[in-house]
Amino acid sequence: MDGGGAQYNPRTVEEVFRDFKGRRAGMIRALTTDVEDFYQQCDPEKENLCLYGFPSEQWEVNLPAEEVPPELPEPALGINFARDGMQEKDWLALVAVHSDAWLLAVAFYFGARFGFDKSDRKRLFNMINDLPTIYEVVTGTGKKQVKVEKSSVSNHSSTKSKPKVSKRGSESQARYFKPIHQQQPKEEEEGLDEEEDEDEHGETLCGACGENYASDEFWICCDICEKWFHGKCVKITPARAEHIKQYKCPSCSNKRSRP
């Protein structure tokens, strides 16, 4: 259960936050882009299993640590037992909630171990709280919350560079964002449509890693679940997207293929 990070002990707020982000990224990958592999590993016939995330952005399904007490707080035990007793999306959401709780436990374990004072703990929590939770990424509720909150921050967000959606026959072409420097000049009559697209997608979160949009990144939208993804997270390039009529993210593709 080393996963590339068991012996790593962050000692500053920045190091603990970096550790948190790495573990979080690994667990998000398990529950989104690698969900088929994660699903298969969580066999209900096996013993109590846990989902671990590591600072290296890797994940692992394994038995709990044997030492008592363990070196770090342990994730939720027995996640595999509920797999076949509920709908997959509800099971993944349940694992996501417990994963969020575990990440906080690990972060503040380091804080307590290395003597973070009140100011350090508050700063660490604020840094963590600026990221969407794993639950929000997996269920898509983080995107909904952003839309609700947009009205209160519209003046601030209007100064940011926002994504533009490439439209090439909306019904016969996958939807995607091109990096700003790759976009072609638009005719004046398309200006209003672009502004509407910018408002809709400017605060979009990646369905795989949970990070926000940046103007120099390529994004693509799943036509089934309508979540947006960094091209690099789902291994889709702009050139490849040009030839995709209907894009399905790894999670939706796996749902269709699973018996």
What pLDDT, in 10s, does the model give residues 86-124? 999 999 999 999 999 999 999 999 999 999 999 999 999
The CATH number assigned to the domain with range 219-254 reads: 3.30.40.10
pLDDT in tens, 133-157: 999 999 988 665 544 444 444 444 4
Torsions phi, psi for 15 (to 5 deg): -70, -40
User: What CA–CA distance (Å, rounded) separates 194 from 165?
Assistant: 7
Q: Where are the domains of the chain?
A: 13-145, 219-254
Q: What percent of the chain has pLDDT over 90?
A: 47
pTM of the model: 0.61
CB 50 within 8 A of CB 64: yes
In terms of DSSP bridges, do strands 59-62 and 176-177 run parallel, antiparallel, or are they unpaired?
unpaired
| Residue 10, pLDDT score | 84
Query: What does the block give as tokens for 94?
Result: 């349940």
Return phi, psi of residue 139, to 5°: -90, -15
In whole angstroms, give the CA distance from residue 76 to residue 106: 13
Residues 73-86 pLDDT 10s: 999 999 999 999 99
Higher pLDDT, 173 or 84: 84
* DSSP 3-state of 205: strand
Higher local confidence (pLDDT), 56 or 188: 56
Contacts with 213 (C-beta within 8 Å, 6 or more apart), sequence order: 162, 163, 177, 201, 202, 203, 204, 206, 219, 228
